[in-house]
């Protein structure tokens, strides 16, 4: 199987891919792209069986240039796939719902997925391959790194700096920092579901609870 240029590859056939398939279809139609879902193995009775190919088929047949996106919440896996695709000449393509709201001075870099009811207000910079799941929001004057995952209903208030590869569970709340002292979330930190973050989180730490504590 050989896939020509103007093809979009979506990596992962899990639940998040199911949730963004309407965006995949919309983007593919608007850009006149063929698209395929790439997974480690072909599962029977999959919801996208007729569009599913294995990773081995992708690596054996993909021809550059091609587009790709990665609806996989795990930040380490997402980074690995992204780096492989970039090395092959792939071009990241964002999937952004029409129901997303943003105001002035918002930068979202390539490879993002921004779902319905997500809000990003003003003076916000977001790195590559960001996931903003449904009802998540980012307030003013925030900086978000690469490969960051916001699960559903994450609330990030103003003056917060989030480093690369941070995973934030559903319903977590991050309190605001200030202009002279932003609240800092370190690289590869994990913020658990429903956590209320009231102070800086060190790199590689996992925090849970209200108020959030390192575990």
- The CATH number for 118's domain is 2.160.10.10
pLDDT at 49 over 70: no
Instruction: Say if CB 118 and CB 137 are below 8 A apart.
Output: yes
pLDDT tens per residue, range 168-209: 999 999 999 999 999 999 999 999 999 999 999 999 999 999
CA atoms within 13 A on the CB side of 115: 20
Helix (H) or strand (E) holding 147: none
**Do 67 and 119 belong together in one domain?**
no
More confident residue, 99 or 59: 99
Task: Indicate whether 213 belongs to any domain.
Answer: no
pLDDT at 147: 98
Residue 134 to residue 125: CA distance in whole angstroms? 19
The average confidence (pLDDT) of the chain is: 93
* Tokens 């996208």 found at: 48
Mean pLDDT of 109-124: 98
pLDDT at 6: 87
pLDDT at 176: 98
pLDDT tens per residue, range 131-142: 999 999 999 999
CA distances, 197 to each of 41, 96, 134 (Å) = 38, 27, 20
**Do 88 and 161 belong together in one domain?**
no
**Do 149 and 88 belong together in one domain?**
no
Q: Which of 65, 93, 121 is the last residue of a domain?
A: 93
| Chain centroid, CA 165 distance in Å | 10
**Do 63 and 120 belong together in one domain?**
no
Q: What is the CATH number of the domain that holds 64?
A: 3.40.50.20
**Do 122 and 161 belong together in one domain?**
yes
- Confidence (pTM): 0.92
pLDDT at 5: 47
Residue 130 to residue 114: CA distance in whole angstroms? 8
Residue 201 to residue 207: CA distance in whole angstroms? 8
* Catalytic residue IDs: 140
> Could you check whether the bond before residue 65 is cis, i.e. omega within 30 degrees of 0?
yes
By percentage, how much of the chain surpasses pLDDT 70?
93
Instruction: Say if CB 192 and CB 169 are below 8 A apart.
Output: yes
Alpha helices in the chain (DSSP H): 15-31, 55-61, 75-87
Q: Which domain holds residue 174?
A: 96-208
Q: Which of 31, 59, 93 is the last residue of a domain?
A: 93
pLDDT at 64: 75
Given pLDDT bands bounded at 50, 70 and 90, which one contains residue 43? low
Given pLDDT bands bounded at 50, 70 and 90, which one contains residue 59? confident
Given pLDDT bands bounded at 50, 70 and 90, which one contains residue 1? very low
Task: Indicate whether 1 belongs to any domain.
Answer: no
Cβ-based neighbour number of residue 190 at 10 Å: 20
Phi, psi torsion values for 78, nearest 5 degrees: -60, -45
CA distances, 180 to each of 159, 161, 183, 195 (Å) = 9, 12, 10, 25
């Amino acid at each position: 199987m050989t896939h020509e240029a103007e093809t979009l590859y979506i990596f992962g056939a899990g639940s998040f891919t199911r949730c963004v398939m309407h965006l995949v279809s919309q983007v593919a139609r608007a850009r006149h792209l063929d698209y395929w879902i790439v997974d480690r193995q072909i599962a029977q009775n999959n919801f996208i069986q007729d569009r599913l190919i294995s990773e081995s088929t992708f690596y054996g047949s993909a021809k550059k240039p091609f587009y790709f996106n990665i609806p996989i919440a795990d930040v380490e896996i997402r980074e690995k796939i992204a780096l492989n695709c970039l090395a092959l000449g792939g071009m990241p393509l964002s999937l952004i719902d029409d129901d997303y709201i943003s105001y002035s001075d918002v930068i979202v870099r390539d490879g993002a997925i921004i779902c319905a009811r997500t809000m990003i207000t003003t003076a916000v910079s977001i790195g590559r391959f960001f996931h903003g799941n449904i009802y998540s929001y980012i307030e003013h004057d925030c900086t978000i790194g690469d490969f960051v995952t916001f699960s559903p209903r994450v609330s990030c208030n103003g003056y917060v700096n989030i480093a690369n590869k941070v995973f934030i569970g559903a319903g977590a709340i991050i309190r605001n920092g200030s202009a002279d002292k932003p609240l800092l979330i370190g690289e590869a930190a994990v913020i658990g579901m429903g956590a209320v973050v009231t102070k800086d989180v060190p790199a590689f730490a996992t925090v849970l609870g209200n108020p959030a504590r390192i575990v």
